Amino acid sequence: MSAGLAATMGVALVVPGWASAASGDARQLTRSELLRVGLHVSDLPKALRPGEEGRTSVVRSGRSANGPDLCIDRDVDIVRGPTPRRHVAAVIPIAGSAQQLSITGTRSDIYQYPSARRAAAAFTRITTVSKTCVFDEKVEMNAGGIKLTADARGVVGRTSRLAGVRGLTLLFRARAQAALPPLFDASALADRYSAYHLAGATIVRVAYAQAEAVDGKATLNRKRKEFVRQTAVTVARRVARLS
């Protein structure tokens, strides 16, 4: 087991900031601090290093800030967590583009709440509502000679403890295929794996996602999931040190 994986799967990580977060007096990070502690290209292993696009940051505060988008449920509705005071995202495309109908990327999201207690309550809430992200659905139908098949699955898991609070993982996977032999046979896929941790007055998320609207090979494997879990801990520790 690598040192990074051992840290990720360990019982607890004690760093400056966790004690203040637990007692409710965590400091509010500034906009520039939140941008600095998020995901950077240097956090990615060489296999995931992007091309020329690099890192894009987005900051939303007040009414424009949205709560964590946890998943799409069985009714194809977005399941969200509580709205934060500020949301800072760092997005790094890895391969493909929207124009190519194929894109793979990773990102961090830091959701900052008015206090550590409010963040803890929000984390408890997302842990509860994440249960609606668990499903396994399959649909088959024939429309005008076109055979359509689709299946989607949502899985909730737990990961390492930080300051005594166990993290949360969410997996969403969808597959679809349309065929009209012998004219065409097309498939699409969508995968997202994310890990959440409570840190100071924030909830930290790191995610890896892939969407292919044409035939493509899924890249979400064990190593990618390990990267997400490890990096979520890394970003959470950065937040805690400043809290």
Question: What is the per-residue pLDDT for 7?
Answer: 32
Please count the other Cβ atoms lying within 10 Å of the Cβ belonging to residue 242: 18
152-158 average pLDDT score: 92
pLDDT given at position 14: 34
Taking residue 72's Cβ as centre, other Cβ atoms within 10 Å add up to 18
Q: Which of 2-6, 74-78, 155-159, 173-177 is most confident? A: 155-159
Q: Range with the lowest mean pLDDT among 93-102, 106-115, 171-180, 185-194?
A: 93-102
CA–CA gap between residue 213 and residue 203 (Å, rounded): 31
pLDDT of residue 232: 97
Q: What is the pLDDT of residue 194?
A: 97
pTM, full prediction: 0.83
Q: What is the pLDDT of residues 219-237, one digit of tens each?
A: 899 999 999 999 999 999 9
Lowest mean pLDDT among 128-132, 139-143, 149-153, 160-164: 139-143
The CATH code of the domain that includes 66 is: 3.40.1000.70
pLDDT of residue 52: 63
- How large is the average pLDDT for residues 165-176? 92
Residue 15: what pLDDT? 37
- What pLDDT digit, counting tens, does each position of 53-112 carry? 688 999 999 999 999 999 988 777 899 999 999 999 999 998 876 666 678 899 999 999
* Cα distances (angstroms) measured from residue 60 to each of 70, 84, 233: 18, 10, 23
Q: Do the Cβ atoms of 194 and 206 come closer than 8 Å? A: yes
Tokens encoding 225: 């999931």
Q: Tell me what pLDDT residue 3 has.
A: 37
For residue 9, pLDDT over 90 is answered with no
Q: Which domain holds residue 182?
A: 3-242
| For residue 12, pLDDT beyond 80 | no
pLDDT above 60 (res 13): no
Can you give the pLDDT at residue 148? 80
> How buried is 231 (Cβ within 10 angstroms: 0-12 exposed, 13-18 middle, 19+ buried)?
buried
Q: What length is written for the chain? A: 243
Total number of domains in the chain: 1
